[in-house]
Structure 1
Amino acid sequence: MTRYAFPQDLRDAAQLALHQTQAEYEQYATTLPWSAEPMPGWEGDKQLHSGYRSSKPDSPGYTEEQRQQVAAYRARLLELSTQVVTHSFWETLKGNGLFAAHMQLKHVHDAPEPQGEAA
């Protein structure tokens, strides 16, 4: 497998920050009401053979602070995604190498770097 020598700014300032911001946003989203706008709750029909009945309670909608925080996360994610996608490193690759490098970059922080291995 080819190992790519990603520039430090692409690895850390962009990709790692993107992963961290996405994780923070997903964690924050779990604290939000199920609807951004006030909506009445609902209860679905009972499912055949399981007895399961889907439902949602009334949603008060997002507060202004929650709307601002979601907008800030989305703006930061767009900024970081743009940095990753438009980085000059990608111009050095062609064809299948480009796709493979993109996939490798997504997981570059999953495991420790092997010592002494070059790209």
Structure 2
Amino acid sequence: MSKNDTPSFAFPADLTALQTRLHQARAELEAYSRTLPWSVEPMPGRAPKTNGNTGEITEPGREPSPGYTPAQLAEDTRLRALVRDLSDQVSTHPHWATLERGPALVDARIALKSHPDVLAGRPAAAV
């Protein structure tokens, strides 16, 4: 088998559904995280640092962070817990016990992430 050949694996429907949901949950968390302040706790900002000779900005500044609101913290915590739970369900799924340990098992775990059924349900930005 050449490097470009991808072995095909038969995965149970519930496992591909879990992997799809995991991709979706990660995308939800990433998108939500981009809307949040840069610090969970209120933090002061800082001025940019500049090169004394050239005036070039060597480190960008940062606006003060108001910190997360209780609602933002709750949603961030919920999404992180969902990703953790789904990751655990995928990694401990009984299907993995049916495969022999070694390179084939690693290949199967990698193949699940790009399985056509999984990719069909994966958010476009995450592909």
TM-score with structure 1 length normalisation?
0.84
Tell me the residue number matched to 2:124: none
- Does structure 1 conserve the Cα–Cα contact (< 8 Å) formed by 2:20 and 2:119? no
- 2:7 maps to which of 2, 13, 16: 2
Give 1:55 deviation, angstroms: 1.1
Q: Which runs of 5+ in 2 are unaligned?
A: 1-5, 121-127
Q: Describe the SS at the equivalent of 2:60.
A: strand
Whichever residue aligns with residue 62 of structure 1, its letter is: Y
Whichever residue aligns with residue 108 of structure 2, its letter is: A
Q: Kindly tell me: are residues 8 and 50 of structure 1, through their superposed partners in 2, closer, same or farther at Cα, counting changes over 3 Å? A: farther
Q: Does 1:103 align with 2:110?
A: yes
Q: Kindly tell me: are residues 90 and 56 of structure 1, through their superposed partners in 2, closer, same or farther at Cα, counting changes over 3 Å? A: same
Q: Describe the SS at the equivalent of 1:19.
A: helix
Q: Kindly tell me: are residues 95 and 49 of structure 1, through their superposed partners in 2, closer, same or farther at Cα, counting changes over 3 Å? A: farther
Whichever residue aligns with residue 86 of structure 1, its letter is: T
Q: Which stretch of structure 1 is more off in the superposition, 65-74 or 44-53?
A: 44-53
Tell me the residue number matched to 1:38: 42
What is the total number of aligned residue pairs between the two structures? 110
Give 1:41 deviation, angstroms: 0.2
Alignment of 1:19-98 (within 5 A): 19-46=23-50, 51-52=56-57, 53-93=59-99, 94-98=101-105
Whichever residue aligns with residue 101 of structure 1, its letter is: A
Whichever residue aligns with residue 43 of structure 2, its letter is: M
Whichever residue aligns with residue 12 of structure 2, its letter is: P
Give 1:49 deviation, angstroms: 6.8
Tell me the residue number matched to 1:115: none
Q: Which runs of 5+ in 1 are unaligned?
A: 112-119
Root-mean-square deviation (CA, aligned residues, Å) is 1.8
